Amino acid sequence: MRQRTDRDDETGIRVRGARLIGAATVLALAAAGCNSGEKQATSEVGVSAPTGLGSFYGQQLSWKGCGGGFQCTTAKVPLDYSKPSGQKIGIALIRLPARDKSERIGSLFINPGGPGGSGVGFVRQAAEAFGSDLRKRFDIVGFDPRGVGQSDPVHCNTGPQLDAFFAADSSPDDQKETAAFAADSKEFAQNCGAKAASELPYVGTVNAARDIDVLRAAVGDKKLTYYGASYGTYLGAFYAQQFPGNVRALALDGAVDPTTSSTGLLVEQAKGFETAFRAFANDCVKKPNCPLGTSTDAAMTKLASFLAQTDKKPLSNTRDTRQVTEALAVMGIASALYLKENWPVLRQGLAQAFQKSDGTLLLTLADQMVERHPDGSYSNQTDANMAVNCVDKPNPASAKAYGQAAAEAKRVAPHFGPFVVWGGLPCVYWPVQTKTRPTPVTAKGAKPILVIGTLRDPATPYKWAQNLASQLSSGVLLTLDGDGHTAYLQGNPCITRATDDYLLNADPPKPGTICR
pLDDT digits (tens, 9 = 90+) for 62-98: 999 999 999 999 999 999 999 999 999 999 999 999 9
Please report the pLDDT score of residue 288 as a whole number.
93
**pTM for the whole structure:** 0.92
| CATH number of the domain located at residue range(s) 7-154+203-260+440-515 in this protein | 3.40.50.1820
**262-284 helix and 399-412 helix, angle to the nearest 10 degrees:** 30
Do residues 302 and 333 make contact, with C-beta atoms less than 8 angstroms apart?
no
DSSP state of 101: G
DSSP string, 311-348: HHSPBB-SSSS--B-HHHHHHHHHHHHT-GGGHHHHHH
265 torsion bin: left (phi>0), alpha (psi -120 to 50), beta (else):
alpha
Averaged pLDDT, groups of 10, the chain, 516 residues long: 36 36 29 34 53 96 98 98 97 98 97 97 96 96 98 98 98 96 98 97 98 98 98 98 98 97 96 98 96 97 98 97 98 97 97 98 98 97 98 95 95 97 97 95 98 97 98 98 96 97 98 96
Alpha-carbon gap, residue 180 to 177, rounded angstroms: 5
Q: What's the farthest any 2 CA atoms get from each other in the chain?
A: 69
Do residues 134 and 504 make contact, with C-beta atoms less than 8 angstroms apart?
yes
Angle at alpha carbon of residue 439, lines to 435 and 442, rounded to 5°: 145
pLDDT digits (tens, 9 = 90+) for 415-447: 999 999 999 999 999 999 999 999 999 999 999
CATH 3.40.50.1820 domain span(s) along the chain: 7-154+203-260+440-515
Do residues 222 and 247 make contact, with C-beta atoms less than 8 angstroms apart?
no
The SS3 assignment for 56 reads helix
Please report the pLDDT score of residue 126 as a whole number.
96
Catalytic residue among 118, 169, 253, 485: 485
Task: Single out the residue of 438, 385, 426, 502 nearest to residue 238, CA to CA.
Answer: 438
H or E segment and range at residue 478: strand 475-483
Task: Single out the residue of 7, 11, 9, 8 nearest to residue 319, CA to CA.
Answer: 11
pLDDT digits (tens, 9 = 90+) for 229-284: 999 999 999 999 999 999 999 999 999 999 999 999 999 999 999 999 999 999 99
Please report the pLDDT score of residue 51 as a whole number.
87
Please report the pLDDT score of residue 24 as a whole number.
30
Alpha-carbon gap, residue 495 to 453, rounded angstroms: 10
Measured CA to CA in angstroms, residue 185 lies from 162, 167, 208 at distances of 11, 12, 25
DSSP string, 387-419: HHHHHHS---SSHHHHHHHHHHHHHH-TTTHHH
Please report the pLDDT score of residue 47 as a whole number.
52
Catalytic residue among 211, 221, 457, 483: 457
Catalytic residue among 118, 230, 335, 379: 230
Do residues 277 and 257 make contact, with C-beta atoms less than 8 angstroms apart?
no
CB environment 420-436: b (16+ within 10 A), e (fewer): bbbbbbbbbbbbbebeb
Task: Single out the residue of 206, 214, 213 nearest to residue 234, CA to CA.
Answer: 206
Alpha-carbon gap, residue 339 to 375, rounded angstroms: 25
304 torsion bin: left (phi>0), alpha (psi -120 to 50), beta (else):
alpha
To the query of whether residue 48 is one of the catalytic residues in this protein, the response is: no
Please report the pLDDT score of residue 264 as a whole number.
96
To the query of whether residue 485 is one of the catalytic residues in this protein, the response is: yes
Do residues 296 and 280 make contact, with C-beta atoms less than 8 angstroms apart?
no
To the query of whether residue 107 is one of the catalytic residues in this protein, the response is: no
Per-state percent for the chain, helix, strand, coil, to nearest 5: 45, 15, 40
Q: Write out the E strands in 3-87.
A: 7-8, 14-15, 20-21, 40-42, 48-50, 64-65, 71-78
Alpha-carbon gap, residue 151 to 120, rounded angstroms: 10
Measured CA to CA in angstroms, residue 339 lies from 140, 323, 365, 484 at distances of 24, 25, 11, 5
The SS3 assignment for 143 reads strand
